[in-house]
Amino acid sequence: MSMLEVEAINSFYGDSHVLFDISLEVAEHEVVALLGRNGAGKTTTLKTIAGVLSPRSGSIRLAGTPIHGLTSHLIARRGLQLVPEERRIFITLTVEENLRLAALNAAKPRPIEEIFDIFPRLRERRRATGGTLSGGEQQMLAIARALIRSPQLMLLDEPFEGLAPVIVEELVALCGRLAEAGSTIVIVEQDVRAALMLARRVYVLNNGHVAFEGTRDELLADPEITSRYLGIGLETEEP
Ligand SMILES: Nc1ncnc2c1ncn2[C@@H]1O[C@H](COP(=O)(O)OP(=O)(O)O)[C@@H](O)[C@H]1O
Ligand SMILES: [Mg+2]
């Protein structure tokens, strides 16, 4: 089943046309990466899917149901969770309070202990305030806040940005376990190597257009695309 079907969306900031006929599809239980240079339109694509920004044309379906034109709030209630780049956790609230707040108006909240089983580090830090967490812990909390709402689809915008390589490895492993457990995820990342450890299928954006669509192996076999749009050479390790 298709969890997400995006068809020819066009998005604008005021008069500025940023997304041009973007189409993409994500199957249930699939992890898809959205890659591309800075300013390519990745965040705008996620924002449009999540209803933060309304597309001027095109259609978006979540599990078969049209969601374009709905408010971000209603889209979230239908089970789509955007974890934005800024993380947006509450720094004066504890880890546990952040999670309980996220669960509050969810249609099917998961028990908090289940979330702590996935993130043992957050269980240890449950009484710590958000502001005292490390960058990696804050990112875990941001993902945990989405997960506690039992999302059908999660959109992660640069979840590994600004984190030390050893923390990135830990988060990649964690996201890998979420994927194995059946989560459906769209991941935007500058860290191509990390993204390709998780995603088997990839879209590359350039100037608001889809420049490439294919499997991870097809991408890695296409030096033209990887060098031109991702700025990586042939020496990139195979994940
Ligand atoms: N709030 C905004 N207002 C106007 N233009 C924006 C805004 N946010 C992003 N843009 C522009 O839209 C384009 C795509 O940006 P974005 O989606 O953030 O790219 P990416 O996430 O791939 O780096 C860029 O040219 C950027 O300058
Ligand atoms: Mg971005």
| Whether residue 236 has pLDDT greater than 60 | no
pLDDT at 105: 83
Q: 21-37: string of b/e by CB count within 10 Å (b at 16+)?
A: ebebbbeeebbbbbbbb
Number of the ligand 1 atom closest to the C-alpha atom of 41: 17
pLDDT tens, residue by residue, 188-213? 999 999 999 999 999 999 999 999 99
Kindly state the tokens that stand for 136: 């990696």
Maximum C-alpha span of the chain: 50
- Residues within 5 Å of ion ligand 2, judged at the Cβ atom: 42-43
pLDDT tens, residue by residue, 61-107? 999 999 999 999 999 999 999 999 988 899 999 999 999 999 998 88
Q: Is the CB of 15 under 6 A from ligand 1?
A: no
- Kindly report the pTM of this predicted structure: 0.94
| Overall average pLDDT of the 133-140 stretch | 94
**Mean pLDDT, all residues of the chain:** 94
Number of the ligand 1 atom closest to the C-alpha atom of 44: 17
Q: Is the CB of 38 under 6 A from ligand 1?
A: yes
Cα(238) to centroid(ligand 2), Å: 25
Q: Is the CB of 206 under 6 A from ligand 1?
A: no
Number of the ligand 1 atom closest to the C-alpha atom of 36: 22
pLDDT at 234: 47
| d(C-alpha 9, C-alpha 58), whole Å | 4
pLDDT at 87: 86
Which numbered ligand comes closest to the C-alpha of 14?
A: 1
| Whether residue 238 has pLDDT greater than 80 | no
pLDDT at 151: 95
First-to-last C-alpha distance (Å) of the chain: 27
Number of the ligand 1 atom closest to the C-alpha atom of 37: 22
